[in-house]
């Protein structure tokens, strides 16, 4: 299936049950209800997307197909993460056999051992090899993955501006997809957050962005006071410019990692796009301070409410769910 391009990232989400609804995915593991899935909002305190979904569903243009995916029931919600907590707690690396890269710092523990074991004689080659092993090695099968969450965005631009600065460090062709996958790393020195961006082969107008890791620094845009006054936090990671937007969002539940993604349809100036996303429990650890500071805002007016408000402001061409 075409979605295999990122099936490793969002296992079971596109497993088929929700295919018809295009863009509207919410796979609920057997034995769990939709509200169960939404329930872990409580672990993060304050309002969340789930609040909106639960209490103001009519205000949110989100379609939910509660297809059942017999996969792995989601693990119990993690304890409330501190803002500085490594969001690995979110993921359950056990059953997902996909090759998820580990963060570079995860390699550090392997380095010494690896260097000790290295027996190559060619110095130059060895040095180069060592460096690569040092950084690319993924050795410990038990090493935990960085928390990840993905979202889909209907946009012409591949790399959405989410307020952080990213450096592209790789691009790979993706099997069964004509579109390459790009790899970005947060340029902040102490921040190991990565993201992958790829265009859906099934729907070329959709860009799938997967974040991995937790930012440990303020968003450069916000810290520079570059926010437009009209901007609203949807998630601390980025702001929604309240102009130029029309969008339709659909949650996409990543049940193995307890992360949430949505499909967001945007019709805006491609040159000034913002990404949108929003993972529940990830949000606080991934983008801690803004979320917390905007908690009340989110409850009343933030998040999706803002997202959909544009639909009212500008006639929303009932976009067909994909």
Q: Binding residues for DNA, per CB under 7 A?
A: 5, 8-9, 97-104, 114, 128-129, 131-141, 159, 165-175, 181-185, 187, 194, 196
| Burial environment of residue 46 by CB neighbours within 10 A (0 to 12, 13 to 18, 19 or more) | middle
Nearer residue to DNA within complex by CB, 85 or 126: 126
Smallest distance, DNA to C-beta of residue 59, A: 35
Sequential DSSP letters for 156-175: S-SS-B-SS-EEEEEEEE-T
Q: Which residues pair with residue 69 across a beta bridge? A: 29
Smallest distance, DNA to C-beta of residue 179, A: 11
H helix intervals, 66-218: 108-117, 123-136
Distances in whole angstroms, Cα of residue 225 to Cα of each of 22, 129, 221, 222, 228: 37, 43, 6, 5, 8
What is the maximum span of the chain, computed from C-alpha positions, in angstroms?
68
Say which residue the tokens 């990671």 belong to.
237
Smallest distance, DNA to C-beta of residue 226, A: 15
Nearer residue to DNA within complex by CB, 173 or 271: 173
Nearer residue to DNA within complex by CB, 8 or 42: 8
Smallest distance, DNA to C-beta of residue 140, A: 6
Nearer residue to DNA within complex by CB, 81 or 192: 192
Closest CA to 266 of 120, 173, 110, 152: 152
Nearer residue to DNA within complex by CB, 282 or 306: 282
Smallest distance, DNA to C-beta of residue 321, A: 26
Nearer residue to DNA within complex by CB, 7 or 242: 7
Smallest distance, DNA to C-beta of residue 133, A: 5
DSSP state of 111: H
């Amino acid at each position: 299936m075409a979605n295999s391009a990122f099936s490793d990232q969002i296992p079971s989400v596109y497993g088929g049950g929700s295919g018809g609804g295009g863009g509207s995915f919410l796979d609920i593991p057997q034995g769990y209800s939709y509200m169960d899935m939404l329930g872990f909002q409580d672990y993060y305190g304050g309002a969340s997307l789930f609040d909106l979904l639960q209490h103001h569903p009519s205000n949110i243009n989100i379609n939910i197909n509660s297809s059942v995916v017999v996969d792995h029931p989601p693990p119990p919600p993690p304890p409330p993460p501190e803002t500085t907590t490594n969001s690995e707690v979110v993921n359950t690396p056990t059953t997902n056999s996909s090759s998820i890269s580990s963060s570079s710092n995860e390699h550090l523990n392997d380095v010494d051992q690896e260097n000790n074991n290295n027996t190559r004689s060619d110095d130059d080659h060895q040095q180069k090899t060592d460096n690569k092993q040092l950084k690319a090695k993924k050795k410990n099968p038990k090493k935990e993955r960085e928390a990840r969450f993905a979202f889909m965005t209907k946009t012409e631009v591949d790399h959405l501006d989410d307020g952080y600065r990213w450096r592209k460090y790789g691009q790979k062709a993706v099997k069964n997809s004509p579109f390459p996958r790009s790899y970005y790393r947060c340029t902040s020195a102490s921040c190991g957050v990565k993201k992958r961006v790829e265009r859906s082969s099934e729907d070329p107008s959709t860009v799938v962005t997967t974040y991995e890791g937790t930012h440990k620094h303020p968003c450069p845009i916000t810290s520079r006071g570059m926010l437009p006054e009209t901007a609203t936090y949807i998630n601390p990671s980025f702001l929604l410019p309240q102009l130029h937007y029309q969008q339709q969002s659909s949650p996409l539940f990543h049940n193995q990692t307890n992360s949430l993604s949505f499909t967001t349809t945007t019709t805006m100036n491609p040159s000034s796009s913002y990404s949108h996303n929003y993972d529940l429990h990830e949000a606080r650890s991934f983008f801690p301070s803004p979320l917390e500071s905007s908690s009340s805002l989110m409850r009343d007016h933030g998040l999706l409410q803002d997202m959909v408000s544009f639909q009212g402001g500008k006639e929303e061409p009932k976009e067909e769910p994909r």
